[in-house]
Amino acid sequence: MSGSAALSRRSLLRLGGVVGLTGTVGAGLVAPFPAVAEPSRTRIDYLDLDPVTSTTRTSREARPVAEFAARTTSAFSTLAVTWTVTDAPAPDVRYRVRRDGRWSDWGPLGDGPVGRVEGTVGPRDGTDPIFVGDCDGVAVRVLDAPAGDVADPQVVLIDPERLASDREVPGDRLGTTAAPARPELTWRGGWGADPNLGSTCRGPNPTLHAAIIHHTAGTNSYTQADSAQIIRGIHAYHTNTLGWCDIGYNFLIDKWGRIFEGRDGSVESNAHGAHAGSWNTDTVGISFMGNYETAAATTAMLESAARLAAWELAPYGRDPESRVTLAGKTIYRIAGHGDVMATACPGRNVIAKMASLRSRTAALIG
């Protein structure tokens, strides 16, 4: 099927649900218009790390070259570290936070440099933004980076205020019997996307060849009421801090299997995302919320990913178990971020499920 034909089918599928509002909407289905949460007011604090000129350590200890000493801060729930772009590899960044009056253990601050997945080089790069819950204190160390490789490091603390609507994030199902049907999802308005963040993105991809699977990293102990807030934090970091036009992922899926529209236009068209560098073109970026290097992906999450991938790939006649060559690499039609870039994403526990994810998607397409 040609790209234009597939796009037309995607548009008609969406219009079919809208027409259903004046005719008959299928049993058990609700109108596909997004419910809109109240706008989110996001606060972002940028705090400079101090250089460490000397330190005493054993031969087995990593050497901190910059640090943000433990201290009280304004309230935040999402954390990242950024630096001025250089050609050096990402540094090893460690953090601890204070939550409910107690300090956590030191832990790694996600993958990086995340800025390279956008496909263009901005003035600053950084770690993944990770959700840490409601915190009011932080300490950060940048370890064992050669002198000059980490320029002007900053701690980024994001507080995408909690909304009353977060406890009942609205979803909707498409009023059509076409197969495979679009799975229930939450539109951008449902998770409280701030319309003042970001700018106009480039036009959509003309076709779709593959789905790239990611994870957001960060905590796995979030609640259902946290999911929308996590996405708002990522959105603020990608746009306000890194200067992207929008959140990078096309879709995000929480551990209960709830699907959230990410980049604007991802439901109606093949929005060009920012998730895999040269492999942003003609792909859809789907991110599992959590760290699946350390936790197992839930059955609900994997099933939702299969249903979403089936709905995305079927109009183009793509076999999820086949391979395609994109940007010089031959990959499966459903591939992990680590299949195209040097990263552990989407985590070993998702990687172990990729074959079954592809086969389930193929079964749904039929």
Question: What would the pLDDT profile of 168-188 be if each residue is shown by its tens digit?
Answer: 776 665 544 467 889 999 999
Collect all residues with Cβ–Cβ distance below 8 Å to 27 and sequence separation of at least 6: none
Is there a single domain that holds both residue 208 and residue 268? yes
Is there a single domain that holds both residue 228 and residue 142? no
Q: Please, which residues bridge with residue 211 across strands?
A: 284, 334
Is there a single domain that holds both residue 209 and residue 347? yes
Is there a single domain that holds both residue 33 and residue 57? no
Of the candidates 160, 180, 210, which is a domain's last residue?
160
Question: What would the pLDDT profile of 69-114 be if each residue is shown by its tens digit?
Answer: 999 999 999 999 998 877 777 788 999 999 999 999 999 987 666 7
Q: What is the pLDDT of residue 17?
A: 36
Q: What is the pLDDT of residue 230?
A: 96
Is there a single domain that holds both residue 153 and residue 247? no
265 dihedral zone (left: phi>0; alpha: psi -120 to 50; beta): left
Percent of the chain with pLDDT over 70: 79
Q: What is the pLDDT of residue 61?
A: 57
Domain count, the chain: 2
Of the candidates 160, 185, 213, which is a domain's last residue?
160
Angle 362-365-366 (CA atoms, 0-180°, nearest 5)? 85
Q: Determine if the peptide bond prior to 39 is cis (ω within 30°).
A: no
Q: What is the pLDDT of residue 154?
A: 94
Is there a single domain that holds both residue 152 and residue 286? no
Of the candidates 128, 160, 192, which is a domain's last residue?
160
How high does pLDDT run on average in the chain?
84
Q: What is the pLDDT of residue 115?
A: 64
Is there a single domain that holds both residue 273 and residue 242? yes
Q: Where in the sequence is the domain holding 152, given as residue range(s)?
A: 42-160
Alpha-helical (H) ranges within 60-175 are none
- Cβ contact 313:362 at 8 Å: no
Q: What is the pLDDT of residue 276?
A: 93
The CATH number that applies at residue 139 is 2.60.120
Q: What is the pLDDT of residue 322?
A: 97
Q: What is the pLDDT of residue 167?
A: 83
Is there a single domain that holds both residue 94 and residue 196? no
Is there a single domain that holds both residue 28 and residue 86? no
Per-position pLDDT tens, the chain of length 366: 444 444 444 554 443 333 332 333 333 333 333 455 566 678 999 999 998 876 544 445 567 889 999 999 999 999 999 988 777 777 889 999 999 999 999 999 876 667 666 655 567 888 999 999 999 999 999 986 655 567 889 999 999 988 888 887 766 655 444 678 899 999 999 999 998 888 889 899 999 999 999 999 988 999 999 999 999 999 999 999 988 999 999 999 999 999 999 999 999 999 999 999 999 999 999 999 999 999 999 999 999 999 999 999 999 999 999 999 999 999 999 999 999 998 999 999 999 999 999 999 999 999
Is there a single domain that holds both residue 253 and residue 355? yes
- Cβ contact 143:90 at 8 Å: no
Q: Tokens 């049907």 identify what position? A: 181
Q: Hey, what are 339's tokens?
A: 């299949």
Question: What would the pLDDT profile of 138-161 be if each residue is shown by its tens digit?
Answer: 999 998 665 556 788 999 999 998
Q: What is the pLDDT of residue 134?
A: 94
The CATH number that applies at residue 8 is 3.40.80.10
Q: Helices 354-365 and 299-313, interaxial angle, to 10°? A: 50
Q: What is the pLDDT of residue 2?
A: 40
pTM metric for this prediction: 0.86
Q: What is the pLDDT of residue 131?
A: 95
Is there a single domain that holds both residue 116 and residue 74? yes
Is there a single domain that holds both residue 203 and residue 217? yes
Of 9, 6, 25, nearest to 17 by C-alpha is: 25
Q: What is the pLDDT of residue 112?
A: 64
Q: What does R_g of the chain's alpha carbons equal in angstroms? A: 21
CA-to-CA distance for 29 and 344, rounded, in angstroms?
Answer: 39
* Residue 50, H or E segment: strand 50-51
CA-to-CA distance for 56 and 46, rounded, in angstroms?
Answer: 29
Q: What is the pLDDT of residue 136?
A: 97
Looking at residue 271, its amino acid is: A
